[in-house]
């Protein structure tokens, strides 16, 4: 596959060398399921792909924010936030970002002798909505771990571990669906704060508002604010920002992700606003924080 330069601010891409793909395909274990390309495009305005000649890879795309569309064999599907789809190999297809509400997407190209077992009924978009027992943040953490494994190189043991993780990643989406468990999503008053924080963590990469939390919880904005302030000492919006900056600190400490990539990962498109918010909460700039010797 040819890598096409997108130029999206904050994008991350790894394209596996063909010699490594050949090795994976000839190994009894990694031939079961293996990644060939992986990436993340935040706020991917004007993103568009069209392949008139079929390829031999599955394409997984998870829209974390915004909207988009894809077309398989002349059938077009619309995609909204918190939906994923998988394009099978061997079919003509195209996909792209909505012109008015650009999508942010995680994407993986993959192959393998058991790949078809994880891709049933994924022609149509599959919902990963925030629910009381949803696991969106865990799925995104798995993506980051897989990405970081590949970024470190192509050690044989690491590639086998990557296959194990990727099977778990797809299995979590295909066979373990806590987001679809029937629990009527009712939230008791005593659980308002816990449920609100769960919602914040599940949507850490988005710009969420008090109204979003209110709509999810089912209580008025003023009531949620009062309970939240009593229980945590902070307003919901302040707490969201604390969680975002905590996540930013974790990425600064434990990854080599660029700072102008990190702000997108916590749902802040404006780098300068992110830097000001980070300084306000941590008392130091993101750059200086990364330079600190800790421990």
Residue 32 has pLDDT above 50, yes or no: yes
Let me know if domain 12-180 sits in CATH 2.60.120.280: yes
Q: What is the mean pLDDT of the chain?
A: 89
What pLDDT was estimated at residue 130?
83
Q: pLDDT band at 184, cuts 50/70/90?
A: very low
pLDDT of residue 186: 61
pLDDT per residue as tens digits for the range 188-205: 666 889 899 999 999 999
pLDDT score, position 182: 42
Query: Do residues 224 and 210 touch, judged by C-beta distance below 8 A?
Result: yes
pLDDT in the model for residue 183: 43
Q: Do domains 12-180 and 189-291 have the same CATH topology?
A: no
Please state the domain extents for the chain.
12-180, 189-291
Question: Stretch 71-99: mean pLDDT, rounded?
Answer: 93
At residue 56, the pLDDT reads 92
pLDDT at 175: 78
The mean pLDDT value for 11-17 works out to 94
Q: What percent of the chain has pLDDT over 70?
A: 91
pLDDT of residue 74: 87
Structure tokens at 268: 């802040």
pLDDT above 80 for 162:
yes
pLDDT confidence of residue 10: 85
Whether CATH 1.10.10.60 fits 189-291: yes
Report the 3 state secondary structure along the chain: CCCCCCCCCCCEEEECCHHHHHHHHCCCCHHHCEEEEEEEECCCCCCEEEECCCCCCEEEEEEEECCEEEEECCEEEEECCCEEEEECCCCCEEEEECCCCCCEEEEEEEECCCHHHHCCCCCCCEECCCCCCCCHHHHHHHHHHHHHHHHCCCCHHHHHHHHHHHHHHHHHHHCCCHHHCCCCCCCCHHHHHHHHHHHHHHCCCCCCCHHHHHHHHCCCHHHHHHHHHHHHCCCHHHHHHHHHHHHHHHHHHHCCCCHHHHHHHCCCCCHHHHHHHHHHHHCCCHHHHHHCCCC
**Across 133-145, average pLDDT:** 90
């Amino acid at each position: 596959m040819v890598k096409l330069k997108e130029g999206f601010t904050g994008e991350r891409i790894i394209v596996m060398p063909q010699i490594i793909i050949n090795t994976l395909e000839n190994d009894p274990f990694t031939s079961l399921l293996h990644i060939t390309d992986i990436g993340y495009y935040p706020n991917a305005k004007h993103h568009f792909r069209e392949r008139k000649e079929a390829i031999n890879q599955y394409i997984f795309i998870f829209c974390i924010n915004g909207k988009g569309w894809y077309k398989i064999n002349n059938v077009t599907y619309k995609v909204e936030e918190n939906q994923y789809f998988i394009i099978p190999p061997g079919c003509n297809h195209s996909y792209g970002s909505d012109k008015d509400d650009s999508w942010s997407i995680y994407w993986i190209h993959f192959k393998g002798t058991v790949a078809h077992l994880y891709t049933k009924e994924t022609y149509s978009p599959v919902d990963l909505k925030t629910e009381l027992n949803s696991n969106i943040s865990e799925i995104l953490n798995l993506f980051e771990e897989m990405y970081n494994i590949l970024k470190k190189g192509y050690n044989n043991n690491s590639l086998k571990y990557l296959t194990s993780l990727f099977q778990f990643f797809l299995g979590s989406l295909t066979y373990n669906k806590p987001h679809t468990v029937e629990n009527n999503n009712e939230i008791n008053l005593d659980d308002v704060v816990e449920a609100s924080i769960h919602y914040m963590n599940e949507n850490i990469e988005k710009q969420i508002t008090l109204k979003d939390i209110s709509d999810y919880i089912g209580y008025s904005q003023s009531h949620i604010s009062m309970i939240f302030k009593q229980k945590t000492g902070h307003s919901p919006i302040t707490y969201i920002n604390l969680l975002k900056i905590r996540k930013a600190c974790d990425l600064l400490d434990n990854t080599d992700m660029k700072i102008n990539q990190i702000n997108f990962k916590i749902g802040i498109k404006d780098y300068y606003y992110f830097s000001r918010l980070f300084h306000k909460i941590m008392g130091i700039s993101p750059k200086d924080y990364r330079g600190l010797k800790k421990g």
